[in-house]
Each structure stands twice: as structure tokens, then as C-alpha cells.
Chain A
Amino acid sequence: MFNKFSRRAGSGVAVTVAAVLMLTACGGNGGDAGGTPDPNEEVTLNFTWWGNEDRASRYEEAIALFEDENPNIDVNGTFMDFPAYWEKRQTEAAGGGLPDVMQFDYSYLRQYGENGVLLDLTEYEGNGLTTDGIDETLMATGRLEDQTLAVPTGYNAWSLFENPAVLEETGATGYEGGTSWEDYDAYMTSVTEASGGEVYGGTDYTGRIQNLELQMRQEGRELFTDEGELNFTQEELAEFWSSAQGLRDNVTIPARQLEEVAPKSGFGSNLTASEMTWSNFMGGYLGDTGAEDLTILAPPTSDPSVKDLYQKPSMLHAVSAGTEHPEAAVAFVEFLINSPEVGAIFGASLGVPASETALEGASLEGPDLGVKEYLDSVADRIGDPPAAPVVGYGALENTFLTLGTSIGLGAITPEEAAQQFFDEVAVTLGS
């Protein structure tokens, strides 16, 4: 009764305001797909990406090239850093005005895809959009329930970085790569001991959800069930975090020190000899450490015969469902994904190019080549990627990281952290 009453009383004015705002938000769904592209029609495309100034100049170059080839299409590029980029996209998704073409992140794909704000590209495949040159398992990461919603630009895989300069200082022996977890722990211990506490063997790897995923895949399990629920129990999570207590106490870089160097990582600050992360961090870590070269190795595994790694799309390109120029947008995506010239412009800075033609054009060298060689070397361990991340995965990943830090700082126990993580998941996945 009270509910009914308050509903009526509360809504009055606000509903009117809301209705006006919502109605206007949903306007402007122009494009009817399948029409023939008109080479004479003057078209303006809005395109957006996140990234640094280096990426911005590369995209500017690519856009100029595309405009030369398609004089009737004008591309307006715009860019931001990652968190701000998504804040702006969320506002546009709610308020209207998403750009025609967007650089997309895997962790947001399901959210935008399931809500119908991305254009289904299926009918353009082979008809304006060439996807033959892209590995099928990688291509599948851009699909949701038979709809192709995004096309991967490139890929990376989980990996282990080693800093030869830091290692040399300590005099310890390098990590072999791809051996057992115990072996990797022993390696980190040897580095920390050899340095006399100056630097550390590595970072507490239980702080990152990807290492939990890696260990689970090595046991033949995924992080999430097919229904999108957590595939591990609270006790298992507490156990995972507890397992590294010995490392945290004596071997890995103290969480306190990590907080001091943030936003840099311990590895990026030349304070650890190794760290596990995505292979596309090569460029960033070279800049952070100032090192001449970094070694990239296979992460440890409990069973070398299991296909525990997978190719993750480093980023994808997607088209807004509201675009008024779907053909032109698809043509631009095609150009960004497949053109050898674009491959040459970007090298491996958007991940090792997914498309064969772009990869040929890229003629990788130096650190980029090292990443490519690493990815080839672990081909035996690469299996099918997991289903596209659940809605809110980015937030969970962040929560996991924060809780890992809190454990490292001694602020909470692994059991308390596991409890908090499950509480958070209930909120994030339950809404």
C-alpha cells in the first residue's frame, strides 16, 4: 500500500522530466543496414580511441591515408585516456551520441553488445568486411550469440616479463620460463636473497585475477560458468590468496613499497626482476624502466600439456548501432583492421596484428618482434579463449586487485578479503 502511494506521489514531476529526457535520448537511429554505399555522398564519421600521444599520431596518420583513398569520407578522430574514455562512452550510451566507430575493450563488449548499442557486423562479413585473415578463435572474441559486434585489431597473451639489467645486478640466474609454480617461487626467492633486499624477485602474483584464471585453466576450469557466475568458491579464493603468504612475507616486493611507486608498478620502477602481465605491456614497460631490452617468457604451469593460455584481443573496433553511415563505418573498420599500410603504421602497438594482411605490412622488429616470437613459442599452450567477460568484469578485476593490495598491506586477512569479494560480486552481477 505504502509502495503504491509513494510511487504515485514521488513520480509526479520527476516522471515528466524523466520522460522528456529519455525520449529525446533515444532519437537519431538513422542507418538502415544493407543499403548500397554511395561513393559520391559526403560522409563524416566520428571515430574515437583511448591511448597516449604516440597512438594519437599513428591514428592521425592512418586517418589521413583513409581520407586520401576515400575522398568523400571525412573522419573526425578523438581520443582520451582509458578511464575517462569509458566515462564519456557511458554518458553517451545513456544520453545518446556514441561515435560511429569506436576502439573497444574486451571487458565492456558484453555490456554494450547485450544492450544493442553496437551494430551487428555479420551481414558485412565478406561483403565489405574481410575477416578471412583473422584466426577464427580470435575472431570469435568479438562475437556474442551469433552476432559479430567487434573485430579484434590484434592479440596478446598472458606472459612473464624479466628485466635483465635488474637481474644482472643481483647476480642471480634468470627464470627459464614455463616450469612449475614451485620453480618460479624458488627463482624469485633466489633473486631477492641474492640482492640482499635491494630489489625483489617479483610481485605477489595472487594479486591479479588473471593468475587465478591461469591456475584454474591449468586445472581445466574457467573463472566463470557458462551462466556467467563465479566458478570458484569463497574458500578456494581465500586459499589462493593464502597460498602466497610465504612469498609476501619474505620474497616479493612489499605492498607498502608498491603503494609508494604507484601509479608505476614495481617492475616498471626497476624494483623487481620479474612480473606476470599481458604481453602488450612490452612498450609501456620499456618506457617505465628505461631498460634497453626486456625478456618475455612463458608463465609457470602446473601441467605443461594443458592449453592454459589464450589469445586475448588487445582491443577491438566496433560500430555504433546508431550510426547514419554504416557502410562508410564498416569501410573504415576494414581499412583499420586489414590494410597493410595501417599494419606498417602501428606495428604491434595495438597488439600483434590479428589480420594476416596487416601483419605482413607491419614487418615487426625489435621488441615487437620479441613479443610475436613469444606468442609463437607458446602456441602449444594456447587454447580456446573463455566466453566474453561478464558485465562488470572490469570492476571485479579492479576489486580483486584492491583486495590483493589490502592483504599485502596487512589490512585484512585472505578470508575477509574473499568474503568482501563475494559480497561485491553479488552486487555487481546481481543487478
Chain B
Amino acid sequence: MTTGSAPAPQNTRTTAEPGARPAGNRRAGGHPKRKGNSETVAGYAFLAPWLVGLFALTLGPMLFSLYLAFTDYNLFTAPEWSGLANFERMAGDTVFWGSVQITLIYVLVGTPIKLAAALGVAMLLNYKSKGSGFFRSAFYAPSLIGASVSIAIVWRAMFSAEGPVDSGLSFLGINLGGWVGVPALIMPMMILLAVWQFGAPMVIFLAGLKQVPAELYEAASVDGAKAWRKFISVTLPMLSPVIFFNLLLEMIGAFQIFASAYIIGSGSGGPAGATNFYTVYLYTRAFTNNQMGYASAMAWVLLIAVGILAFILFRTSKSWVHYGGDTK
């Protein structure tokens, strides 16, 4: 494999030079022990804002919600400890399992399609620089629309009986007579909506492609590698940290799909429960039925389930994600 071998040190020095002053303190390069100490100090200094945010804004509410998961909290009266009651109820809640099922389908089918679309388009855009600004903007535009009722209106119109999707399909001889009122077609609609808004991972892929040093391609060309070979041996390894990021984050995001489902299903999970995704159901429990205890229990079950998946991903990432900064 011709993975990203470290660039020649001489070159790197030229880039480093503007920032580097010959004079100044020489401590940093000293003994390894002292270096470790200074890194701890520097580490916490750089991390300070994040740490303040974690302890002041994030951790307290998270722990509070963990506590609520074991209570019957209903927003109006003080929470009372209820042990595992919420979790036991969840196990027997058919609506809950229905929401788990459709959410899993959405994640497993939607995420790979969206990522493939984002990567494919990013490669296309990276191929040429002429006019790419325009196309980049065009492809990103759908992701700019906020989650307002406008998107529900547009999306219903696209898949209605007279809409372009159905007209296009009937041109191919498939006639579904509109997707919107067919519960079985809601899932493909939701997935297509997610794929349509592929702008975020696309931009991240683009940024990643910009980081791939051009020499690697040149070297590969000199070796006589064809486009596909270059993609496999240069692009994919160099892009792997970004692919990993997009995969993880899109997966987490898909598990937590809320706004678009809530709007398209008019907040009720309809029609026929087809938009009752995990967090939509959680929200209904929390704010419509005022069962914040139950909702918190649901939230922590999701955290643990997705946490395990994320952990596995991190583990496997060691074998396929190559960081340019890691010494070989």
C-alpha cells in the first residue's frame, strides 16, 4: 500500500519557518519527563474552555437526566424514585419497540447511502476547480433550509401524486399514485430527504480532500496508477480520518433524527406510526405526556446502545483509519 508516507522533512521545515524563531526558550525540547509535565499543564490550559463547559453546562444536566430515568418525574411535581420501573415498562411497550425498529432501518439504510452520495459528489467537485464554487453551493443549498414547516410542504409536494418523483417513476412505467399517504413509502421518503441534505458530510469530505498532499497523486501517477487505483491507495487512506468522523457522526445523528420526522409527521408520529422515530417518541413522552422520567430512561438506553456501537467503531478504526500524524 502506498499510504501517506511522511513528507520530506526538508519541505516541512520551510512551512514551519515563518512561525519558528531561532532564539527563545529551549525548554520544550528538553528531557522527556519535563516534557510530559509541561504537556499536562498545556493540555489542561488548551482544554480549559471545554472543561468549564463540560462541568458547568453539560455534565450536571446529563447526570440529572440519569437520575430522572429512575424516577416518575412528570415536570410538575418533585421526582420520586421508582427504581427500574421505567425500564421494565419500556421492555413491554410495543410503541417503543416499533420506534426502535424504524430507527434502526433508517440508520442502517440511510447513513451509508448519504455518506456514499456525499463522498461521490465531493470527489466529483474536487476533480475540477473551474465552476466548483457554484456547484458546491448548489449541492449544499438543500442543507441550508431550516427545519420549518416549509420543508414539509416542499417534501409532500415532491412525492404527491402530481409531483416530480411520481411523474418520473410513471415515465419508467412504475405508478405508485403518490407516496405521501402510503405508510410503507414514508421510510424511503425520509431516507431520501436525509440523502438530499448531504451537504454537511460533503463539505467535510471536501475539506479532507484538500488536505491530501498533491505529491502523493503525482507519485502514484509516476508509478502508472489508474484513477481507481489512486482512489484506493491514496484517497481512501488519506481520507480515512474524515470518513471515520462522518461515519460516526452521521450514525449518531441518524439515531437521533427528530426535526424532519417531527415536521413531516405533524408531531404525531403519523401516518400509522411511520415517522415515530426513537426521539420523536421520546419527545412525545417527555413533553406531550409529561413523562420525563420515562423519556430520560429512553434517552439513557439510547446513549448506552449508541455508545457501544461507537466504542466498536473506535476499536475497529485502529485497523483502517490512518492518521498522517502517526509515526509509521
- Could you tell me which A residues sit within 8 Å of B by CB distance? 3, 6-7, 10-11, 13-15, 17-18, 21-22, 83, 86-87, 90, 93-94, 111-112, 115, 117, 254-263, 391-392, 394-395, 398-399, 401-402, 405-406, 409, 411-412, 423-424, 427-428, 431
On whether the beta carbons of A254 and B75 are closer than 8 Å, the reply is no
Check B182 against A83 for contact (C-beta < 8 Å). no
Residue from the set B177, B268, B284 with the largest chain A CB neighbour count within 10 Å: B268
Number of B residues, CB within 8 Å of A: 46
Which of B76, B152, B161 has a CB less than 8 Å from the CB of A94? B76
The interface residues of chain A lying within 8 Å CB-to-CB of B268 are 398-399, 401-402
Asked if A405 meets B180 with Cβ closer than 8 Å, knowing A7-B81, A17-B63, A17-B67, the reply is: no
Separation in Å of the B185 CB from the closest CB of chain A? 11
Residues of B contacting A3 in the complex (Cβ-Cβ under 8 angstroms): 83-84
A22-B78, A117-B76 known; A13-B63 Cβ under 8 A: yes
Other-chain residue from B77, B156, B273 in contact with A262 (beta carbon distance below 8 A): B156
Docked-complex contact A111 and B76, CB < 8 angstroms: yes
Q: Which of A13, A263, A392, A405 contacts B289 (CB 8 A)?
A: A392
Question: Is there a chain A Cβ closer than 8 Å to B288's Cβ?
Answer: yes
Question: In the complex, which residues of chain B have a beta carbon less than 8 angstroms from the beta carbon of A398?
Answer: 267-268, 288
Tell me if B208 counts as interface (CB < 8 A to partner A): no
B271's partner among A263, A391, A405 (CB-CB below 8 A) is: A405
Could you tell me the distance between the alpha carbons of A22 and B84 in the complex, rounded to whole angstroms? 22
The yes or no answer to B291 lying at the interface (CB within 8 A) is: yes
Of all chain B residues, the one with the shortest Cβ separation from A424 is B95
A-B contact pairs, 12 of them (CB 8 A): A14-B67, A22-B79, A86-B287, A256-B177, A256-B181, A260-B180, A392-B288, A402-B271, A409-B183, A411-B183, A411-B272, A431-B72
Quick check: B181 and A258 within 8 Å, CB to CB? yes
CB distance from A91 to the nearest CB of B (A): 8
* Cβ of B187 under 8 Å from chain A: no
Q: Which of A6, A94, A402 contacts B84 (CB 8 A)?
A: A6
The digit string for B33-73, where 1 denotes a CB below 8 A from any CB of A, is 00000000000000000000000000010011011101010
Which residue on chain B has the smallest CB distance to residue A10?
A: B70
**Cα distance A412–B272 when bound, in Å?**
8
Residue of A nearest to B276 (CB): A402
Which chain B positions have C-beta within 8 A of A257?
181
* Pair A14/B66 contact, Cβ less than 8 Å: yes
Is B160 on the interface with A (CB-CB < 8 A)? yes
Assembly CA distance A106 to B3 (angstroms): 67
Would B75 and A18 count as touching, CB distance under 8 A? Answer: no
**Cβ contact within 8 Å between B181 and A260:** yes
**A428 in contact with B289 (CB, 8 Å):** yes
Q: Complex Cα distance A94/B68, Å?
A: 13
Query: What is the chain B residue whose CB lies nearest that of A254?
Result: B181
Complex formed: what's the CA distance from A299 to B181 in Å?
28
B178 contacts A256, C-beta separation under 8 Å: yes
